[in-house]
Structure 1
Amino acid sequence: MNRQIIRTDNAPSSPLYSQGVRVGSILYVSGMVGIDPATGELAGSSIQDQTRQALRNCEAILHAGGSALADVTQVTVLLAQPDDFVGMNETYSEVFTQTLPTRAVARLGPELEGILVSIMMTAHTAN
């Protein structure tokens, strides 16, 4: 199995996980939260702000791995508060408008101060 670790300064990182891993034509993106990589701070306190930034972070990793949002086939959204579902959907639907990937939404397990959402993706490309 030929595994390529994907890394970019345009998304949050940690020594505990890879931002992305590409295996052949499949790119797996780790769960991204709404932290702005330029500041290291949350992009805002609303579910919309954090969802928007989490999606930007995922997109940065996709690009670093030679992929794009149009190649995403599966998305998992983890919410800290189930009541944020409608607000998350408002922002999510701004990004995925045409060819919709499969999606699952569940509750985020650990309570992380200020974190409202984590989004992970899988993309398939021709490369």
Structure 2
Amino acid sequence: MAKRIINTPKAPAALGPYSQAIEVNGTLYISGQIPFVPETMTLVSDDVKAQTRQSLENLKAILDEAGYTFNDVVKASCFIKDMNDFAAVNEVYAEYLGEAKPARACVEVARLPKDVKVEIELIAVK
């Protein structure tokens, strides 16, 4: 089993001992992305839609680096701080993954890294 580590400066650096993504046997596993601006490693905004968009842009940068697109995504996991933001998160999410329609889970969590409102992870297959 060959394992390829994916890393790009176009997405935020890992905040701990993990990789942005790992590709194994044509499957790409992308670590959860929070809404940090890669260049500054700071939160994009307090607005949940802006946070969702930045998280998805970070995921797109990793997909691009690995040679994948959102159409290759088969599973998404969304973690949100407040389920009342579900519709707002979905609105932005649909702009990026609406056509791909991967399987998905969306759960409310007590707390996310750096107290952000949203974190999204993906699995993509070639």
TM-score of the superposition, structure 2-length normalised? 0.92
2:68 aligned with 1:100: no
What letter corresponds to residue 89 of structure 2 in structure 1? M
Quickly say closer, same or farther: Cα 1:87–1:38, change in 2 above 3 A. Answer: same
Q: Secondary structure at the match of 1:54?
A: helix
Identity of aligned residues (%): 33
Give 2:105's aligned amino acid: A
Alpha-carbon distance between aligned partners in 1 of 2:55 and 2:112, rounded to the nearest angstrom: 17
Q: How many residues align?
A: 125
Offset, 1:97: 2.5
Unaligned runs of 5+ in 2: none
Structure 1 gaps of 5+ residues are: none
Q: CA deviation at 1:40?
A: 1.4
Q: Match for residue 9 of structure 1? A: 9
Question: In 1, Cα distance between the equivalents of 2:31 and 2:77?
Answer: 10
The alignment partner of 2:31 has SS state of strand
Q: Secondary structure at the match of 2:18?
A: coil
Higher helix share: 2
What is the CA RMSD across the aligned residues, in angstroms?
1.3
- TM-score using structure 1 length: 0.92
Distance 1:71 1:111 in 2: 26
